[in-house]
Chain A
């Protein structure tokens, strides 16, 4: 059930997990659209020649996916801040899962803090962070 108001949110509540499209094709298309048309986002072999493990998904696309997950859970949510730490690259063509969980509720200001984690198929945390969102009271 989608969240519409703050009172529906519970501490420790899991947001529905989100499977982002981390295909090379989508990552490369996004990179070109935003002017980051470098091989590290568009070509696995060329990325390896740069010393990387393969092509990566642009970080701002990953952040967009985080926000999409929040809006899937709570469509009226106003995103105040998304604060991420990239521990490792989100690799193109690897399957990833984004999870979120409510870790703080500020009833006075009608805001919620959400822990965000991007993990790969091996369960490794690639990206973690927090989001602060405002919800209607």
Chain B
């Protein structure tokens, strides 16, 4: 089962894609993914219900978040009301180690995304700030990467023993599914996804060409 773990809709300030159009696009273009996770910037969208769309198109649609820390951006899977009260998702100066620790305490998973990117990627900051504690998973394939950003992520993840996930980081419809994550088990809910991530049963895949 393949899920794009990093997508944005019009709920994000720089997102331009409607979720319905993502679904139409995946089906009409035979994009090789079975679903996607909406990871809106600096927030968690509790309100939107995409279950009818998911059923109509036969796709898994889940919701996570993308928060911002001193080490750059971080995907969060398994967000609950309690977790959003534990720290302020809207801040751009969260502490990565606190985010990881708090997520774990709430049964969620935090994974730095596009870590090879200047400024907003974790490995741009490790020389100055040191290797942060608690990181287990990083995004090694990102659909928006330029130059050798993915390679920096892959090399550093390998050196530090991190597991790798993939996501398109799509902000417009036609960019969904460029990168994704393959799971050995069926993923139907956020609980399934968090369980698979915690178990390390996945691998990053890329469809960029």
Contact = CB atoms under 8 A, between A and B. Distances in A.
Interface residues of B, number: 19
Mostly, the B contact residues are loop
B173 A103 contact: yes
B21 A125 contact: no
B147 A124 contact: yes
Interface stretch (A1-9, A32-40, A83-91): A83-91
Given A87-B144, A88-B146, A128 B28 contact: no
A62 B29 CA distance: 28
Given A88-B146, A103-B21, A83 B16 contact: yes
Contacts of B171: 85, 128
Interface string B120-157: 00000000000000000000000010110000000000
Contact of B173 (A85, A88, A115): A115
Contact of A129 (B18, B25, B146, B172): B172
Interface string A40-77: 00000000000000000000000000000000000000
A88 B146 CA distance: 9
B14 interface: yes
Contacts of A124: 146-147
Nearest to A88: B146
Interface residues of A, number: 20
B175 interface: yes
Contact of A104 (B18, B146, B175): B18
Contacts of B14: 85
A90 to B, nearest CB: 13
B24 interface: yes
A120 to B, nearest CB: 9
A125 B172 CA distance: 12
A130 interface: yes
A117 interface: yes
B172 A11 contact: no
B95 interface: no
B51 interface: no
Nearest to A116: B172
B174 interface: yes
Interface string A83-126: 10101100000000000010110000000010111000011110
A12 B144 contact: no
Contacts of A123: 208-209
A117 B172 contact: yes
Interface in B1-50: 14, 16-18, 21, 24-25, 28-29
A115 B174 contact: yes
Contact of A12 (B17, B29, B172, B209): B29
A85 B172 CA distance: 10
B144 A117 contact: no
Interface of B: 14, 16-18, 21, 24-25, 28-29, 144, 146-147, 171-175, 208-209
18 contacts: A12-B25, A12-B29, A85-B16, A87-B146, A88-B146, A101-B174, A103-B21, A104-B18, A115-B16, A115-B173, A115-B174, A117-B175, A123-B208, A123-B209, A128-B16, A128-B171, A129-B16, A129-B172
